[in-house]
Structures are given as structure tokens and as C-alpha cells.
Amino acid sequence: MDAAYIANIEIVGTCNLRCPACAVGNYPDGQRQLGSLGGTMPLARFEAILDKLALESPVPKEQLFVALYSWGEPLIHPKIDLLIRATKERGFQVGVSSNLNYGNHLEKMMLAEPTEVCISLSGFRQATYGRSHRGGDVEIVKSNMQRIAEIREANDLDTKIIVAYHLYRHNCGQDLFEMAELADRLRFTLNPVWALLLPLEKLLAARDGMIAQADQETVANLLLHPDEQFAIARENLDLKGGCDLQSKRIDVDVDGAVRLCCATFERGTNIAADFLDQSLDDLHRRKERSKLCDDCMGCGANRIFMASDIDRWMEIGGPRIAAQGYLNNAGLGRLDAPDLPREQNLQAELIAAHHADDRRRYEAAHAALARRLRLKYGYDAIAFSAFRSRLTQRSDAAKVWRRGFHGPLDPLRLYFAQNRAARRFGLTPTLHGGDDLHDLLALARNWDEGDTRYQATAQEIGDHCRRLLDRSAVA
């Protein structure tokens, strides 16, 4: 999602699965009601919440993302299409996150055309998936993924589909690779995410050495033990920078109550009984005064939930992933879809076409690749500006460049290739954007496919781009 502010609205107060790393799954039956109410949110209450957000939003409406979920399964809601449409009518972005085991409302959900749909899963085979998505059937999930792809294609929808693959020690091998292939075939974005022990209440208990017996197996299966996560977070506490979960997010439960945070579960930590009775500014002030927030930020738990230290996580967890046989894309700090043949071949075809002076062949490859990346990654084009912002993100607090999200291709090589082809064929360059690319244009004029400078790893390309951007900033 590309949003400045997020409002989680729990439209369904329970879930159909019992995943062991999630609060709905790891709270015993007698304690689940501490945070899970059950039921569904009435349309009238939902619209009243939206109207209040429209009046009090701290950001322009198009930059506010309404997430129709928190701990529950939104596809259970029989009026999910009406909720999506109501959100869009007010100019907000809207997203659904689902385990996709319940498919009764798939078609009407997709035809309402949410901004994005996130599919939560953790394996390709049932033996793998069932261990961490307890109670689910991955074959149903894959069937519903196919249905979503067909509905999107048949109706020419712009909804972005994300496959959130939860990474554990047991599922980073062949299962991950096969799910990446399926996502690529369906033109979905694969976004592996590090599984954590949830909610905040349990993570803080683990910090204090109190891990429930029932959670021991789950904790042992995490790529990073909570002790390792907290040790890394403590290394960077001096970076400060606040907490986006506190300042840029609000979480409304199915009955209208306001949670302290999207990471908290127990209703005893709520900051208001009814979102409609308090101003948004007042709710954020209550969050700022929360002792639980102070405890969380004081020990770095918020950094864990925001994956702020992903580079250090990769230093420790990366070898554990590689040991299962999955090599992440060029060793970058954040995992993304592997370099799969389908897109790799389109890239090679585009480059080969301009070497062969074959304009028709080039244009066909160009169109196919641009459409594919637009569907998968939300790019309007193979934009260098998108590549720059995703691969080299500047942290103003730390005054350093950080590695960030990246696609599976080599955008810099594509950028050079399309510039040369554009000059050769007399076309207008369309695969890049921005006014600060003079240095790259100069390099593109002299670029050669065999130049060893561009046979480098993605890490080295990232370093090269950072130098150019620093030089541009000085200029």
C-alpha cells in the first residue's frame, strides 16, 4: 500500500482459522474473548466511522488507507462488497487481507474493486501450510487464488493482489519457491514476511522470559527468536524516530471500540469505548500517554512490528533461510519474488530486440513487460524513480541510505536498454520518470550489454545508484 495514514476497521470479530502465531489462534478458548468479540460490523456503523474519518483525517483522503481487518477474517462478512464500495465512494484507498479459505464472497469482493487484496499463507503443500495456518486447507486457497486471478483478468480490474508468505524455519525451501512460481503465473506480487509471535502482550511476556508452554513450538519455529529480535532492537534504540503504529494508524474493533494499537489484542488495553465519541486527535493523544506504548517503544518492540531492523535480521536469519535451499534475490535485505524465468525472459527479449534493431519485436516485449509489472507491482511503467525509492530509501532520522523493497528484475539495466532502444528506434522513452536522471542518461549513452560494470550484483548496483543520487542531491 502507498498511504500516509492507515485505519484498521475490524469488520469481522473472529477468524475461521487458529494460526499459532496469531492471537486468535494462540489464546486458549477460555481467554480468546479477552480480545475477540465475534460477529460482524453493521453497515451503518461502518459508514459512520468512514464519515468521521473523512472529517478528521490528518492526510488528504486519497492518502488514507482503510484496512478492513485487524485480527478477523473479512471475507466472512456478507456485505463486504458494500463496505468496499462505501470506502471508495469517500475517496479512500481500501484493502482486504484474507487467509482465502472462505470463498463464498470472492466474486462480489473482487467486483467491488478494492485497492489491494492481501492473501495470508505459509506454504504450498498442506503438510507445510497446515503447521502454521492451523485449520486451513492450502488447496482451497490455491483454488481461490486462481478464481481471483480469473475475475481480475475477465473484468480488467486494477486491484493489486499480494501474497503475504509468512516465513518460518520450516517453510523457506521448495514450498516458498513453488508459491513464488504460482504467484508469478497469476501475476500476483509475492511478499515474504517474517513471522512474529503475536500479539504485543505475548511478545512482551516473551521478553520477560514468560513464553507459554503452548507457544514454545511456535517460537522455536520462528526464523528469529524473540530474544534475538529484542537484542537487535536494543542496538538501534538511539535512532528514535517515533512509532508509525502510534502516530499514523488507528484501529477500530467490530463494536466500534478503539484499540491502543494494531499489535494489541486484549480489550483491557483499549483507549476508547466508541470511536464515534472521541476526536481523532484526542485518540492519538491517548496513545501517546499510554504506559504500554512507553514500555513497547522503550524496549524496541515497536521496531520488531515495523521490521525496522530488517538488514540485521537478514544477517542472522538469512543463512537459516538459505539452509533450506531458498536463495533470496541477490542477497538484498528484504525478501521479494525470486528472479523467475517468466519475467527474466521478457527482460532478455527486450534487450535482445534492441541489439537486433528489431523495432516490432522490441515494442512487443516492452508492452508485455510493462503490463506485467503494472499488474504485479503497481508501476505505471518500469520507472527508475520507483526503483530508486524502493531500493534506496533514505532514513532522515539515521541520515543513512537503507535497502528497501525491490522487484525481481534489474531496473537499472532495463532503464539503460530502453533509453538506447528509444534513440535507435526514434521512440519516446516511457519506462522511466523524473527530472533528476542526467547522470544516468549520460551513462546510458555509453552503456554496452557486455560492460562488466553492469554485471554486478543488485547490492553493487544499489551502491552505484546511491552514489549518483548523493551527487545529484549535492548538485
Quick check: 408 pLDDT over 60? no
Q: How deeply is 94 buried, as exposed, middle or buried, from its count of CB atoms within 10 A (0-12, 13-18, 19+)?
A: buried
Both 290 and 438 in a single domain?
no
Q: 193 and 251 share a domain?
A: yes
How far is residue 316's CA from residue 226's CA, in Å, rounded to a whole number? 13
* 330 assigned to some structural domain: no
**Can you read off the three cell numbers belonging to residue 469?**
543520487
Give the chain's mean pLDDT.
Answer: 79
Q: What is the pLDDT of residues 68-109, one digit of tens each?
A: 999 999 999 999 999 999 999 999 999 999 999 999 999 999
Residues 228 and 290 in one domain: yes
CA dist 33 to 13, 29, 265, 411, Å?
10, 8, 10, 49
Residue range 251-275: average pLDDT? 96
pTM: 0.73
Average pLDDT estimate for 349-373: 75
Residues 369 and 278 in one domain: no
Q: Quick one: 250 and 140 in the same domain?
A: yes
How many whole angstroms from its chain centre is CA 9? Answer: 18
Q: 534506496: which residue's cell? A: 392
Give me the pLDDT at residue 455, please.
40
- The mean per-residue pLDDT over the stretch 429-440 comes to 41
Kindly indicate the confidence band of residue 426, based on its pLDDT and cuts at 50, 70 and 90: low
Residue 468 lies in a domain: yes
pLDDT at 122: 97
Residues 352 and 451 in one domain: yes
> 327 in a domain, yes or no?
no
446 found inside a domain: yes
β-bridge mates for residue 189, sequence order = 162
Task: Give the CATH number for residue 82.
Answer: 3.20.20.70
Verify that 409 and 453 share a domain, yes or no: yes
Long-range contacts of the stretch 249-253 (C-beta < 8 A, 24+): 249/5, 249/6, 249/7, 249/8, 250/6, 250/7, 250/8, 250/275, 250/280, 250/283, 250/284, 251/7, 251/8, 251/10, 251/70, 252/7, 252/8, 252/9, 252/10, 252/49, 253/10, 253/13, 253/37, 253/70
Q: Using the predicted structure, report yes or no on whether residue 119 has a pLDDT greater than 90.
A: yes
Hey, is 169 helix, strand or coil?
coil
Q: How many domains does the chain have?
A: 2
Instruction: State mean pLDDT over 286-297.
Output: 95
3-class secondary structure per residue, 212-265: CHHHHHHHHHCCCCHHHHHHHHHHCHHHCCCCHHHHCEEEECCCCCEECCCCCC
Last residue of a domain, one of 295, 322, 349: 322
| Judgement on whether residues 467 and 349 belong to the same structural domain of the protein | yes
Question: Can you tell me the distance from the alpha carbon of 413 to that of 449, in angstroms, rounded to the nearest whole number?
Answer: 9
> What percent of the chain stands above pLDDT 90?
54
- Establish if 67 belongs to a structural domain: yes
In this prediction, residue 401 carries a pLDDT of: 30
Q: Does 309 lie in the same domain as 357?
A: no
Q: What is the 3-state secondary structure (H, E, C) of 174-217?
A: HHHHHHHHHHHHHCCEEEEEECCCCCHHHHHHHHCCCCCHHHHH
Share of the chain above pLDDT 70, in %: 71
Please state, in angstroms and as integers, the Cα–Cα distance from residue 66 to each residue in 95, 105, 175, following that order: 6, 19, 31
Contact 278, 257 (CB under 8 A): no
What 3-state class would DSSP assign to 60?
A: coil
Domain span at residue 357 reads 339-474
* Cα(177)–Cα(62) distance, integer angstroms: 35
Mean pLDDT across the stretch 287-295?
95
What is the per-residue pLDDT for 70? Answer: 95
Does residue 14 surpass a pLDDT of 80? yes
Residue 262 lies in a domain: yes
Residue 41 lies in a domain: yes
Amino acid 261: pLDDT: 95
Domain finish residue from 294, 322, 350: 322
Cβ atoms 161, 189 nearer than 8 A = yes
Distance between CA 215 and CA 223 in Å, rounded? 15
Helix (H) or strand (E) holding 117: strand 116-121
